[in-house]
Amino acid sequence: MDKIDKILKILMKEYPGSFHKTDPFKTLVSCLLSLRTKDATTEKAASRLFKHAKTPEQILNLTEKQIQKLIYPVGFYKVKSKNLKKICRILIKDYNSKVPDSIEELLKLPGIGRKCATIIHTYGFGKFESIPTDIHVHIISNRLGLVNEKTPERTEQSLIRIIPTKYWYDINRLFVLHGQNICLTRKPKCEICLIKKYCGYYLKELS
Protein backbone atom coordinates (compact mmCIF):
# COMPACT_ATOMS: atom_id res chain seq x y z
CA MET A 1 0.00 0.00 0.00
CA ASP A 2 1.59 3.25 -1.19
CA LYS A 3 0.00 5.27 1.64
CA ILE A 4 1.49 2.99 4.29
CA ASP A 5 4.94 3.16 2.66
CA LYS A 6 4.89 6.95 2.76
CA ILE A 7 3.57 7.14 6.33
CA LEU A 8 6.12 4.67 7.69
CA LYS A 9 9.07 6.29 5.93
CA ILE A 10 8.16 9.62 7.53
CA LEU A 11 7.70 8.07 10.98
CA MET A 12 10.90 5.99 10.72
CA LYS A 13 12.85 9.17 10.10
CA GLU A 14 11.12 10.87 13.03
CA TYR A 15 11.50 7.89 15.41
CA PRO A 16 14.68 6.03 14.42
CA GLY A 17 15.25 2.64 15.96
CA SER A 18 15.23 -1.07 15.30
CA PHE A 19 13.66 -4.21 16.69
CA HIS A 20 15.11 -5.79 19.80
CA LYS A 21 13.73 -8.54 21.96
CA THR A 22 12.99 -7.92 25.61
CA ASP A 23 12.82 -10.27 28.58
CA PRO A 24 9.52 -12.21 28.19
CA PHE A 25 8.67 -12.12 31.90
CA LYS A 26 9.32 -8.39 32.23
CA THR A 27 7.31 -7.81 29.07
CA LEU A 28 4.42 -9.84 30.51
CA VAL A 29 4.46 -7.96 33.82
CA SER A 30 4.70 -4.55 32.16
CA CYS A 31 1.86 -5.34 29.80
CA LEU A 32 -0.34 -6.58 32.65
CA LEU A 33 0.29 -3.34 34.55
CA SER A 34 -0.38 -1.21 31.46
CA LEU A 35 -4.06 -2.07 31.13
CA ARG A 36 -6.22 1.02 31.74
CA THR A 37 -3.08 2.93 32.74
CA LYS A 38 -1.05 5.71 31.14
CA ASP A 39 2.31 4.69 29.68
CA ALA A 40 4.38 6.89 31.98
CA THR A 41 2.62 5.52 35.07
CA THR A 42 3.16 1.95 33.87
CA GLU A 43 6.88 2.48 33.27
CA LYS A 44 7.45 3.91 36.75
CA ALA A 45 5.41 1.16 38.45
CA ALA A 46 7.18 -1.62 36.55
CA SER A 47 10.57 -0.11 37.38
CA ARG A 48 9.72 -0.02 41.11
CA LEU A 49 8.53 -3.61 41.04
CA PHE A 50 11.55 -4.93 39.12
CA LYS A 51 13.90 -3.43 41.69
CA HIS A 52 12.42 -5.91 44.17
CA ALA A 53 11.49 -8.86 41.96
CA LYS A 54 12.47 -9.95 38.45
CA THR A 55 11.37 -13.61 38.40
CA PRO A 56 8.16 -15.53 39.19
CA GLU A 57 9.77 -16.90 42.35
CA GLN A 58 10.77 -13.45 43.55
CA ILE A 59 7.27 -12.11 42.86
CA LEU A 60 5.78 -14.88 45.02
CA ASN A 61 8.09 -13.90 47.86
CA LEU A 62 6.26 -10.57 47.98
CA THR A 63 2.88 -10.19 49.66
CA GLU A 64 -0.06 -8.77 47.73
CA LYS A 65 0.14 -5.66 49.89
CA GLN A 66 3.80 -5.19 48.98
CA ILE A 67 3.03 -5.60 45.27
CA GLN A 68 0.12 -3.18 45.53
CA LYS A 69 2.32 -0.56 47.14
CA LEU A 70 4.98 -0.96 44.45
CA ILE A 71 2.63 -0.77 41.45
CA TYR A 72 0.24 1.90 42.72
CA PRO A 73 -1.26 4.04 41.09
CA VAL A 74 -1.77 1.78 38.04
CA GLY A 75 -5.40 1.12 37.28
CA PHE A 76 -7.01 -1.78 39.16
CA TYR A 77 -3.77 -2.32 41.07
CA LYS A 78 -5.40 -4.68 43.59
CA VAL A 79 -6.78 -6.96 40.88
CA LYS A 80 -3.47 -6.85 39.01
CA SER A 81 -1.51 -7.82 42.12
CA LYS A 82 -3.75 -10.89 42.53
CA ASN A 83 -3.44 -11.85 38.86
CA LEU A 84 0.32 -11.39 38.95
CA LYS A 85 0.62 -13.83 41.85
CA LYS A 86 -1.66 -16.31 40.05
CA ILE A 87 0.37 -16.01 36.86
CA CYS A 88 3.63 -16.64 38.69
CA ARG A 89 2.25 -19.77 40.35
CA ILE A 90 1.11 -21.07 36.95
CA LEU A 91 4.46 -20.29 35.31
CA ILE A 92 6.34 -22.14 38.05
CA LYS A 93 3.97 -25.13 38.11
CA ASP A 94 3.19 -25.60 34.42
CA TYR A 95 6.00 -23.91 32.47
CA ASN A 96 9.16 -24.44 34.51
CA SER A 97 9.12 -20.75 35.50
CA LYS A 98 9.23 -19.70 31.84
CA VAL A 99 6.72 -17.58 29.94
CA PRO A 100 5.01 -19.68 27.23
CA ASP A 101 5.87 -18.60 23.70
CA SER A 102 2.53 -19.18 21.98
CA ILE A 103 -0.39 -16.77 21.88
CA GLU A 104 -2.80 -19.59 22.72
CA GLU A 105 -0.95 -20.46 25.93
CA LEU A 106 -0.49 -16.83 26.90
CA LEU A 107 -4.23 -16.25 26.63
CA LYS A 108 -4.77 -18.87 29.34
CA LEU A 109 -2.99 -16.73 31.92
CA PRO A 110 -5.17 -14.63 34.28
CA GLY A 111 -5.58 -11.03 33.14
CA ILE A 112 -3.78 -11.57 29.81
CA GLY A 113 -5.92 -10.66 26.82
CA ARG A 114 -5.24 -10.57 23.11
CA LYS A 115 -3.32 -7.28 23.18
CA CYS A 116 -0.93 -8.42 25.90
CA ALA A 117 -0.49 -11.85 24.36
CA THR A 118 0.57 -10.43 21.00
CA ILE A 119 2.89 -7.87 22.61
CA ILE A 120 4.62 -10.60 24.67
CA HIS A 121 4.76 -12.85 21.61
CA THR A 122 6.35 -10.15 19.44
CA TYR A 123 8.55 -8.21 21.84
CA GLY A 124 9.42 -11.00 24.27
CA PHE A 125 10.07 -13.74 21.72
CA GLY A 126 10.65 -11.89 18.45
CA LYS A 127 7.83 -13.76 16.70
CA PHE A 128 6.00 -11.87 13.97
CA GLU A 129 2.73 -13.77 13.62
CA SER A 130 0.46 -10.88 14.59
CA ILE A 131 0.34 -7.10 14.88
CA PRO A 132 0.36 -6.02 18.53
CA THR A 133 -2.58 -3.61 18.64
CA ASP A 134 -2.81 -1.42 21.69
CA ILE A 135 -4.90 1.74 22.01
CA HIS A 136 -2.34 3.81 20.04
CA VAL A 137 -2.26 1.43 17.08
CA HIS A 138 -6.05 1.14 17.16
CA ILE A 139 -6.74 4.88 17.26
CA ILE A 140 -4.08 5.96 14.75
CA SER A 141 -5.02 3.25 12.24
CA ASN A 142 -8.62 4.42 12.36
CA ARG A 143 -7.77 8.13 12.28
CA LEU A 144 -5.57 7.61 9.23
CA GLY A 145 -8.38 5.71 7.54
CA LEU A 146 -6.41 2.49 7.15
CA VAL A 147 -9.26 0.65 8.87
CA ASN A 148 -12.70 1.44 10.20
CA GLU A 149 -13.12 -0.69 13.28
CA LYS A 150 -14.60 -0.28 16.78
CA THR A 151 -12.22 -2.46 18.80
CA PRO A 152 -8.44 -3.12 18.88
CA GLU A 153 -9.13 -6.81 18.20
CA ARG A 154 -10.98 -6.05 14.97
CA THR A 155 -8.39 -3.43 14.03
CA GLU A 156 -5.65 -6.06 14.37
CA GLN A 157 -7.45 -8.47 12.07
CA SER A 158 -8.05 -5.76 9.47
CA LEU A 159 -4.42 -4.61 9.60
CA ILE A 160 -3.19 -8.19 9.17
CA ARG A 161 -5.16 -8.36 5.90
CA ILE A 162 -3.82 -5.12 4.41
CA ILE A 163 -0.32 -4.56 5.84
CA PRO A 164 2.71 -6.45 4.43
CA THR A 165 4.33 -8.58 7.14
CA LYS A 166 7.63 -6.69 6.82
CA TYR A 167 5.89 -3.71 8.43
CA TRP A 168 4.17 -5.49 11.32
CA TYR A 169 6.76 -4.62 13.95
CA ASP A 170 7.32 -1.11 12.62
CA ILE A 171 3.64 -0.24 12.78
CA ASN A 172 3.42 -1.07 16.46
CA ARG A 173 6.65 0.67 17.47
CA LEU A 174 6.08 3.76 15.37
CA PHE A 175 2.37 4.19 16.09
CA VAL A 176 2.96 3.79 19.83
CA LEU A 177 5.68 6.47 19.78
CA HIS A 178 3.57 8.74 17.58
CA GLY A 179 0.57 8.20 19.84
CA GLN A 180 2.57 9.05 22.94
CA ASN A 181 4.01 12.23 21.43
CA ILE A 182 1.69 13.64 18.76
CA CYS A 183 -1.46 11.65 18.02
CA LEU A 184 -2.70 11.77 21.60
CA THR A 185 -5.80 9.78 22.47
CA ARG A 186 -7.97 12.68 23.61
CA LYS A 187 -6.48 15.71 21.88
CA PRO A 188 -4.13 15.00 18.96
CA LYS A 189 -1.59 17.67 18.04
CA CYS A 190 -2.65 17.72 14.40
CA GLU A 191 -1.04 21.10 13.69
CA ILE A 192 2.47 19.66 14.15
CA CYS A 193 1.83 16.13 12.83
CA LEU A 194 4.17 15.10 10.03
CA ILE A 195 1.67 12.67 8.49
CA LYS A 196 -1.45 14.83 8.69
CA LYS A 197 -1.83 15.05 4.91
CA TYR A 198 -2.47 11.30 4.90
CA CYS A 199 -4.89 11.43 7.82
CA GLY A 200 -8.63 11.13 7.27
CA TYR A 201 -9.30 12.53 10.74
CA TYR A 202 -7.30 15.70 10.06
CA LEU A 203 -8.71 16.22 6.59
CA LYS A 204 -12.24 15.83 7.96
CA GLU A 205 -11.53 18.40 10.66
CA LEU A 206 -10.44 20.87 7.97
CA SER A 207 -13.61 20.44 5.93
User: What is the tens place of the pLDDT at every residue in 4-58?
Assistant: 999 999 999 999 987 778 999 999 999 999 998 988 999 999 999 999 999 999 9
Could you tell me which CATH number the domain at 24-124 has?
1.10.340.30
Class of the domain covering 2-16+131-206: mainly alpha
Spatial contact of 101 and 125, defined as CB atoms under 8 Å apart: yes
Total residues found in the chain within this entry: 207
Angle at CA of residue 114, ends 110 and 119, nearest 5°: 100
Ordered by start, the domain boundaries in the chain are: 2-16+131-206, 24-124
pTM of the predicted model as reported, rounded to 2 decimal places: 0.85
Q: Contact 126/118 with Cβ under 8 angstroms?
A: no
Whether 2-16+131-206 shares its CATH topology with 24-124 is answered: no
pLDDT bin (cut points 50, 70, 90) of residue 206 is confident
Burial class of residue 51 in the structure, from the number of CB atoms within 10 Å of its CB (0-12 exposed, 13-18 middle, 19+ buried): exposed
C-alpha dist (Å) from residue 66 to 49, 77, 169: 9, 11, 35
Among 62, 38, 40, 41, smallest CA distance to 51 is for: 62
Q: Classify residue 96 by its DSSP letter.
A: T
